[in-house]
Amino acid sequence: MTKIIAAFNMTLDGVCDHTTGVADEDLHKHYSELIDNGGVILYGRTTYQLMQFWQELLKKPSGDKSRDDFAISIDKIQKLIFSNTLKDTGWDTAQLAKKTLSEEVLELKQHIEKDILVGSRSLIIQLLNSDLIDELQICIHPVIEGKGLLLFDQIKNRIMLKLIKTKLLSSGATVFYYEPIRQ
Protein backbone atom coordinates (compact mmCIF):
# COMPACT_ATOMS: atom_id res chain seq x y z
CA MET A 1 0.00 0.00 0.00
CA THR A 2 1.30 3.43 -0.93
CA LYS A 3 2.28 5.56 2.05
CA ILE A 4 2.76 9.30 2.25
CA ILE A 5 6.11 9.73 3.99
CA ALA A 6 7.29 13.12 5.24
CA ALA A 7 11.07 13.16 5.68
CA PHE A 8 13.00 16.13 7.00
CA ASN A 9 16.08 17.21 8.92
CA MET A 10 16.09 19.41 11.99
CA THR A 11 18.35 20.36 14.85
CA LEU A 12 17.76 19.30 18.44
CA ASP A 13 15.92 22.58 19.08
CA GLY A 14 13.62 22.15 16.05
CA VAL A 15 15.35 24.42 13.51
CA CYS A 16 15.00 23.10 9.96
CA ASP A 17 17.34 25.30 7.93
CA HIS A 18 19.17 23.22 5.30
CA THR A 19 22.55 24.58 6.40
CA THR A 20 22.34 23.50 10.06
CA GLY A 21 22.64 19.70 9.88
CA VAL A 22 25.55 17.31 9.44
CA ALA A 23 25.53 16.30 5.76
CA ASP A 24 27.87 13.32 5.89
CA GLU A 25 28.17 9.99 4.06
CA ASP A 26 25.62 8.25 6.30
CA LEU A 27 23.03 10.97 5.79
CA HIS A 28 23.43 10.89 2.00
CA LYS A 29 23.17 7.08 1.99
CA HIS A 30 20.07 7.20 4.19
CA TYR A 31 18.26 9.63 1.90
CA SER A 32 19.44 7.86 -1.27
CA GLU A 33 17.85 4.64 -0.02
CA LEU A 34 14.63 6.43 0.90
CA ILE A 35 14.41 8.13 -2.49
CA ASP A 36 15.30 4.95 -4.40
CA ASN A 37 12.28 3.27 -2.79
CA GLY A 38 9.91 6.15 -3.49
CA GLY A 39 7.72 6.75 -6.50
CA VAL A 40 7.53 10.54 -6.38
CA ILE A 41 8.79 13.34 -4.16
CA LEU A 42 6.82 16.50 -3.49
CA TYR A 43 8.56 19.86 -3.07
CA GLY A 44 7.59 23.46 -2.61
CA ARG A 45 9.44 26.03 -4.70
CA THR A 46 12.08 27.00 -2.12
CA THR A 47 13.20 23.47 -1.28
CA TYR A 48 13.01 22.45 -4.93
CA GLN A 49 15.33 25.26 -5.95
CA LEU A 50 17.77 24.21 -3.20
CA MET A 51 17.65 20.63 -4.49
CA GLN A 52 18.58 21.74 -8.00
CA PHE A 53 22.14 21.96 -6.64
CA TRP A 54 22.34 18.19 -7.23
CA GLN A 55 21.91 18.65 -10.99
CA GLU A 56 25.42 20.15 -11.07
CA LEU A 57 26.93 17.03 -9.47
CA LEU A 58 25.43 14.95 -12.26
CA LYS A 59 27.33 17.04 -14.79
CA LYS A 60 30.49 17.29 -12.69
CA PRO A 61 30.67 14.52 -10.04
CA SER A 62 32.32 15.44 -6.75
CA GLY A 63 34.27 12.22 -6.32
CA ASP A 64 32.48 11.62 -3.01
CA LYS A 65 30.53 8.41 -3.69
CA SER A 66 27.69 9.10 -1.24
CA ARG A 67 27.09 12.61 -2.63
CA ASP A 68 27.34 11.46 -6.24
CA ASP A 69 24.98 8.52 -5.55
CA PHE A 70 22.50 10.89 -3.91
CA ALA A 71 22.65 13.12 -6.99
CA ILE A 72 21.77 10.11 -9.16
CA SER A 73 18.92 9.12 -6.85
CA ILE A 74 17.41 12.60 -6.71
CA ASP A 75 17.72 12.93 -10.48
CA LYS A 76 15.86 9.68 -11.18
CA ILE A 77 12.84 10.12 -8.93
CA GLN A 78 9.81 11.96 -10.27
CA LYS A 79 9.38 15.35 -8.62
CA LEU A 80 6.11 17.24 -8.30
CA ILE A 81 6.61 20.93 -7.53
CA PHE A 82 4.05 23.17 -5.85
CA SER A 83 4.69 26.77 -6.83
CA ASN A 84 2.70 29.81 -7.84
CA THR A 85 5.72 31.53 -9.38
CA LEU A 86 7.78 28.90 -11.25
CA LYS A 87 6.96 28.61 -14.93
CA ASP A 88 9.43 25.83 -15.76
CA THR A 89 11.17 23.26 -13.56
CA GLY A 90 14.40 23.00 -15.55
CA TRP A 91 14.61 19.29 -14.72
CA ASP A 92 13.38 16.46 -16.96
CA THR A 93 12.05 14.45 -14.00
CA ALA A 94 10.18 17.39 -12.43
CA GLN A 95 6.81 18.87 -13.23
CA LEU A 96 4.66 21.59 -11.77
CA ALA A 97 1.52 20.56 -9.87
CA LYS A 98 -1.72 21.52 -11.56
CA LYS A 99 -4.06 20.83 -8.61
CA THR A 100 -4.05 21.58 -4.89
CA LEU A 101 -1.70 19.66 -2.64
CA SER A 102 -4.48 17.52 -1.15
CA GLU A 103 -5.98 16.75 -4.56
CA GLU A 104 -2.60 15.77 -6.04
CA VAL A 105 -1.69 13.58 -3.06
CA LEU A 106 -5.01 11.74 -3.03
CA GLU A 107 -4.79 11.17 -6.79
CA LEU A 108 -1.17 9.99 -6.60
CA LYS A 109 -2.06 7.59 -3.80
CA GLN A 110 -4.59 5.94 -6.14
CA HIS A 111 -2.24 5.65 -9.13
CA ILE A 112 1.28 4.87 -7.96
CA GLU A 113 2.52 1.80 -6.15
CA LYS A 114 5.62 3.21 -4.49
CA ASP A 115 5.61 5.65 -1.59
CA ILE A 116 4.96 9.37 -1.97
CA LEU A 117 7.76 11.33 -0.31
CA VAL A 118 7.35 14.87 1.00
CA GLY A 119 10.51 16.93 1.38
CA SER A 120 9.41 20.52 2.03
CA ARG A 121 8.53 22.07 5.36
CA SER A 122 5.48 23.94 4.04
CA LEU A 123 4.05 20.81 2.40
CA ILE A 124 4.69 18.68 5.49
CA ILE A 125 2.81 21.20 7.64
CA GLN A 126 -0.13 21.34 5.21
CA LEU A 127 -0.36 17.56 4.99
CA LEU A 128 -0.07 17.08 8.75
CA ASN A 129 -2.81 19.66 9.27
CA SER A 130 -4.95 17.75 6.74
CA ASP A 131 -4.19 14.37 8.37
CA LEU A 132 -2.64 13.03 5.16
CA ILE A 133 0.78 11.88 6.45
CA ASP A 134 1.16 8.12 7.00
CA GLU A 135 4.73 8.21 8.28
CA LEU A 136 6.99 10.95 9.58
CA GLN A 137 10.76 10.46 9.36
CA ILE A 138 12.55 13.18 11.29
CA CYS A 139 16.34 13.20 11.32
CA ILE A 140 17.45 15.11 14.40
CA HIS A 141 21.00 16.42 14.19
CA PRO A 142 23.10 16.82 17.36
CA VAL A 143 23.14 20.60 17.03
CA ILE A 144 21.44 23.36 18.99
CA GLU A 145 21.07 26.19 16.50
CA GLY A 146 19.37 28.74 18.76
CA LYS A 147 17.62 30.59 15.95
CA GLY A 148 15.91 29.93 12.65
CA LEU A 149 12.84 28.47 11.04
CA LEU A 150 11.08 25.87 13.20
CA LEU A 151 9.67 22.76 11.58
CA PHE A 152 6.40 22.45 13.48
CA ASP A 153 5.46 25.99 14.49
CA GLN A 154 2.34 26.11 12.27
CA ILE A 155 0.61 22.89 13.28
CA LYS A 156 -3.07 23.60 14.02
CA ASN A 157 -3.88 20.79 16.44
CA ARG A 158 -2.01 18.37 18.62
CA ILE A 159 -0.83 15.28 16.72
CA MET A 160 -0.05 12.13 18.67
CA LEU A 161 2.61 9.88 17.17
CA LYS A 162 3.75 6.30 17.67
CA LEU A 163 7.50 5.63 17.42
CA ILE A 164 8.00 2.66 15.09
CA LYS A 165 11.76 2.68 14.57
CA THR A 166 14.98 4.64 15.10
CA LYS A 167 18.19 4.74 13.13
CA LEU A 168 21.45 6.17 14.51
CA LEU A 169 23.83 7.70 11.98
CA SER A 170 27.60 7.90 12.53
CA SER A 171 27.42 11.70 13.03
CA GLY A 172 25.18 11.21 16.05
CA ALA A 173 22.12 12.28 14.06
CA THR A 174 19.14 10.03 14.73
CA VAL A 175 16.27 9.30 12.39
CA PHE A 176 12.99 8.82 14.23
CA TYR A 177 10.23 7.01 12.34
CA TYR A 178 6.71 7.84 13.52
CA GLU A 179 3.18 6.99 12.52
CA PRO A 180 0.33 9.33 13.45
CA ILE A 181 -2.12 7.82 15.93
CA ARG A 182 -5.49 8.26 14.26
CA GLN A 183 -8.54 8.21 16.46
Taking the C-alpha atoms of residue 113 and residue 56, their distance in angstroms, rounded to an integer, is: 30
- Identify the structural domains of the chain with CATH numbers, from first to last: 4-180 (3.40.430.10)
What's the average model confidence in pLDDT over 109-138? 96
Q: Tens digit of pLDDT for each residue in 123-137? A: 999 999 999 999 999
Taking the C-alpha atoms of residue 57 and residue 3, their distance in angstroms, rounded to an integer, is: 30
Whole-prediction pTM: 0.95
Helix (H) or strand (E) holding 133: none
Specify the 3-state DSSP secondary structure of 75: helix
- Torsion-angle region of residue 172: left (phi > 0), alpha (psi -120 to 50) or beta? left
Let me know how long the chain is: 183
- Alpha helices (H) in 7-166, listed in sequence order: 25-36, 45-51, 53-59, 65-76, 101-111, 121-129
Residue 80 has pLDDT above 80, yes or no: yes
- Report the range of poorest mean pLDDT among 57-61, 73-77, 82-86, 122-126: 57-61
Residue 123: per-residue pLDDT:
97
Taking the C-alpha atoms of residue 68 and residue 113, their distance in angstroms, rounded to an integer, is: 27
Residue 92: per-residue pLDDT:
95
What's the average model confidence in pLDDT over 149-172? 95
Residue 17 has pLDDT above 90, yes or no: no
Among residues 59, 31, 11, the alpha carbon closest in space to that of 173 is found at 11
Q: Tens digit of pLDDT for each residue in 31-45? A: 999 999 999 999 999
For residue 33, report the phi and psi dihedrals to the nearest 5 degrees.
Answer: -65, -45
What's the average model confidence in pLDDT over 108-121? 95
Which positions ≥6 away from 56 have C-beta within 8 Å?
Answer: none
Residue 20: per-residue pLDDT:
80
Q: How, if at all, do strands 4-11 and 94-96 pair?
A: unpaired
